[in-house]
Amino acid sequence: MTLPLQVVQAIIRRVPAVMPHLSHETKSALKAAPGYEGIRNTYWAEIYDAVWEYLTGSQAVTSFRNRMSRAMSDAFVSGAELGYEDGGGTLPMDEDTLAWLAGEQTAELGHISDLFDRLREEWDGIDPITEAFARADGYADHLDAIYSEAKLRGAGNKMLTFDGNDGKESCPECKKLKGERHRASWWVSHGLIPGPGNSNFTCNGYNCEHRLFDDDGNEWTE
């Protein structure tokens, strides 16, 4: 029996230990999902595999760091281009968006280098499956932010409203912005795109579930 992809994803999230035992066909199906989901699934799997294989193998760190760096570069470009088009933009992306994306890639390369330095230092105390799963989740969350911002950059003058569930926390910025409606370009220029890792919010976007919505109620950010 072949399980639906959503079921497989739910199982992986609940029981990370199954990940190394998934068949090649199942992994390929996850990566082949349509649209942004496929890009994200591919990146998540690449991060997981790079960290898990490094921690359970004996090869030099360089190959794994380079592998993860290539996966990041590919995912950031693919995710940003798709987001830009989904927002209504036409490729190639404008110069300002290209410069923003290049800066994000450079910063993430530094984070990847720091990650493997830390893994090497803390090797004996790390559970490979738990660590690989956590890193895959964290780096995929950042890819969500890349896709969302590119989508807003492509949307330009589209009106979007800050809304959604407060979740575990609704910080001062979230409370102030909830219900506010601005052009997509305004949210970008003010650095107020809701989502994990945005330090312009006291909650850093990790403890709330706020998003930007269009006038029809469609969610515009991941």
Is the sign of the CA dihedral 117, 43, 149, 217 positive or negative? negative
Range of the domain at 191: 157-213
The whole-number pLDDT of residue 3 equals: 45
The whole-number pLDDT of residue 11 equals: 58
Total residues belonging to the chain: 222
DSSP 141-156: HHHHHHHHHHHHHHHT
Could you give the CA distance from residue 165 to residue 210 in angstroms, rounded to a whole number?
6
Is the sign of the CA dihedral 30, 220, 170, 103 positive or negative? positive
Are 135 and 115 within 8 A, CB to CB?
yes
135 and 209 together in one domain? no
Residues (pLDDT < 50) of the chain are 1-3
Task: Assess if residue 222 is contained within a domain.
Answer: no
71 and 180 together in one domain? no
93 and 37 together in one domain? yes
27 and 134 together in one domain? yes
Is the sign of the CA dihedral 196, 197, 199, 203 positive or negative? positive
The whole-number pLDDT of residue 181 equals: 97
In 3D space, the residue among 210, 190, 207, 97 whose CA is nearest the CA of residue 147 turns out to be 97
Could you give the CA distance from residue 6 to residue 25 in angstroms, rounded to a whole number?
15
The whole-number pLDDT of residue 1 equals: 41
In tens, the pLDDT along 47-79 reads 999 999 999 988 889 999 999 999 999 999 999
Q: What is the dihedral of CA 16, 21, 22, 23, to 10 degrees?
A: 170
In tens, the pLDDT along 93-113 reads 999 999 999 999 999 999 999
Where is the domain boundary, 154, 170, 199? 154
Written as one letter, the residue type at 135 is R
Q: Which DSSP helix (H) or strand (E) runs through 172?
A: helix 172-177
Could you give the CA distance from residue 112 to residue 163 in angstroms, rounded to a whole number?
33
